[in-house]
Amino acid sequence: MNKITIVEKPDWVSWNDIHDVLVAAHADNKLKGIVMQHQCLSGEEIKQELGSAGVMIIALDGQKVVGVAAIEEKIGKQWYLKGRYGYLCFAGVLPDYRGKGIYTSLIKKREQKAKELNYNLLAFDTHKDNLIVQEIAQKNGYRLVRYFRAQTGDHFNVAMVKWLNGQDAFNKKVKQAYCLSKLLTIIQFKRNGKERTRLTTLVCQGINRWLKVK
């Protein structure tokens, strides 16, 4: 293995190369039933999703792409994300290259780029059972802020954020808001993501709206 370099995607790396790394990186997740929407996109769809404001960071072993991680520009409406923020997505490292600090280097490079782009906050969603990523993110200063049903409606996700402007991410509100969103989601939905009853949904949505966490 050569020295791994972490760079912004050069033109000679194709979006299909990036797609291939994501498919290989997520293969073991898929076997465990941890299926995320983004891992299914084609190279062209990844490019479209990132748009002109998005940034793709890659890890290279010589000319081989061995890891990827992106930032997409989004506008937030949650209590913890108001306005423009960096949404972290399309992250994965090839199985043979794991445990060598490649993802940690990708995280650092991505944060450096986010600061250059003047994002105050970075956020991402992941499957509630993708515990390795949640652990790595916590080690790198990210906090759990929300527990919610995925758009596909068949599983639950968590949202994690990191404030880059020094805001105290360890304050009580973050923990309380996360626990409350988890409690309301568990009350509202069964394990298979189906609503329990219309009444519980209406009550939970009402509380969410009142708390302005939704």
Ligand X SMILES: CC(C)(COP(=O)(O)OP(=O)(O)OC[C@H]1O[C@@H](n2cnc3c(N)ncnc32)[C@H](O)[C@@H]1OP(=O)(O)O)[C@@H](O)C(=O)NCCC(=O)NCCS
Contact 21, 65 (CB under 8 A): yes
134 vs 201, beta carbon nearer ligand X: 134
Instruction: Assess 29 for contact with ligand X (CB under 6 A).
Output: yes
Q: How far is the CB of 67 from ligand X (least distance, A)?
A: 6
103 binds ligand X (CB under 6 A): yes
* CB 49 within 8 Å of CB 30: no
Nearest to 145 by CA among 82, 205, 92, 194: 82
CB 182 within 8 A of CB 142: no
Q: Is 33 in the site for ligand X (CB under 6 A)?
A: no
57 touches ligand X by CB under 6 A? no
Q: Provide the minimum distance between the beta carbon of 160 and ligand X in the complex, in angstroms, as a whole number.
A: 9
Tell which positions 125-184 bind ligand X, by CB under 6 A: 126, 130, 132-133, 136, 139
Compute CA 185 distance to the chain's CA centroid, rounded to the nearest angstrom. 19
- 37 interacts with ligand X by CB under 6 A: no
- Residues 79-98 as x/- pattern, contact with ligand X by CB under 6 A: ------------xxx----x
CB of 115 vs ligand X, minimal distance in Å? 20
Task: Tell me if 56 contacts ligand X by CB under 6 A.
Answer: no
Strand order in the sheet with 64-76: 4-8, 55-61, 64-76, 83-93, 121-127, 156-163, 143-149
**Shortest reach from residue 89's CB to ligand X, in Å:** 8
Considering the rule CB under 6 A, would residue 185 count as an interface residue with ligand X?
no
Site membership for ligand X, residue 188 (CB under 6 A): no
The residue among 104 and 205 lying less far from ligand X, judged by its C-beta, is 104
Note whether 25 binds ligand X by CB under 6 A. Answer: yes
- Quick check: 104 binds ligand X (CB under 6 A)? yes
CA 177 – CA 172 distance, rounded (Å) = 9
Binding site for ligand X (CB under 6 A): 25-26, 29, 91-93, 98-104, 124, 126, 130, 132-133, 136, 139
